[in-house]
Structure formats: structure tokens, C-alpha cells
């Protein structure tokens, strides 16, 4: 089975974990609702279901079941055990880009984030350029 997956951090081309996406088919640039925070060497997407404020910039790829299972390991997601997972895969709706209106999966940060640094503009590539950090 094929899945649409929105990525927004170190899995993107040119960043540290891009090799994990080899074999995936690029579907287009996109934005989804949410906020980004700096988790350290990578970002975390937070869903603001109540406020609806903010967008996160990234890309959508088509991946198969096996690829998605490998990415679950990379993202420290334990299928069936949300409490043990650093990230959790959820459905979001694309709000801009060629796939606007489509539902896609993405990895949402699943740990306390109140003390993490916000990335106000929601663009991780821009953020690492601004702070002078290598991905």
C-alpha cells in the first residue's frame, strides 16, 4: 500500500537524514497546520488543534508500507504504544501547495514541549540557516 507522508525536518533533501527517504517519490512542497519547536538536532511538529495557529513548511512524499515501517524506527515511534514513542504518526490536511486539501501522514512530536525553543515561522531549513546550525 502507498502512503502520503509530510516531512519537515532532517529527512528533507540536503539535511542529515535525507538518505532515509531514498526510494520515496516526491509529490510536492506543502504546508500543514501546526508549530515547530527545536528539539536539539532536529525539529518537532506540534499540533495546535484548538487554536489552529501556525503552519509548518515541508514536502510530501509517497512511501510504501515497508518504507513507512523503517521511518517509524528512525522517528522513535513504537507502533501501538504512543506512550513509548518520541514521535507519533498522525493525519493532517495540507493547507498550501499542489496537494492542498489532501490528508497526509506526518510525525508529530509526542513529548512535553513547553520548555523547547519555538521556530515561529515553521520552516526548519530557514531556521538552521538563521541559527548557524548544521542539520
pLDDT recorded at residue 132: 85
Quick one: pLDDT at residue 49? 55
Neighbours of 91 (CB within 10 A): 10
DSSP character string of 24-84:
PEEEEEEEEESEEEE-SSSEEEE--TTT---EEEEEEEEEEHHHHHHHHHHTT--TT-GGG
Place of cell 533533501: 13
**Where residue 52 falls among pLDDT bands split at 50, 70, 90?**
low
Tell me the three state secondary structure of residue 21.
helix
pLDDT at 53: 76
Half-sphere exposure in the Cβ direction for 118 (13 Å, CA): 9
Mean confidence (pLDDT) of the chain: 94
- What residues are labeled active site? 75
Tell me: pLDDT of 121 over 60.
yes
Model confidence at 50: pLDDT above 70: no
Query: 20 near 74, Cβ under 8 Å?
Result: yes
Domains of the chain: 2-130 (3.10.490.10)
Question: pLDDT per residue over 65-98, tens digit each?
Answer: 999 999 999 999 999 999 999 999 999 999 999 9
Amino acid at each position: 500500500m502507498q502512503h502520503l507522508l509530510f516531512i519537515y525536518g532532517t529527512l528533507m533533501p540536503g539535511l542529515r537524514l535525507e538518505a532515509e527517504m531514498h526510494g520515496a517519490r516526491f509529490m510536492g512542497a506543502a504546508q500543514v497546520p501546526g508549530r515547530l519547536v527545536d528539539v536539539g538536532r532536529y525539529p518537532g511538529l506540534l499540533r495546535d488543534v484548538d487554536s489552529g495557529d501556525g503552519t509548518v513548511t515541508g514536502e510530501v512524499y509517497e512511501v510504501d508500507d515497508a518504507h513507512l515501517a523503517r521511518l517509524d524506527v528512525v522517528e522513535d515511534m513504537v507502533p501501538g504504544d504512543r506512550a513509548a514513542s518520541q514521535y507519533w504518526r498522525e493525519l493532517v490536511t495540507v493547507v498550501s501547495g499542489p496537494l492542498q486539501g489532501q490528508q497526509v501522514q506526518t510525525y508529530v512530536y509526542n513529548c512535553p514541549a513547553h520548555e523547547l525553543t519555538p521556530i515561529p515561522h515553521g520552516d526548519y531549513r530557514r531556521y538552521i540557516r538563521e541559527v548557524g546550525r548544521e542539520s
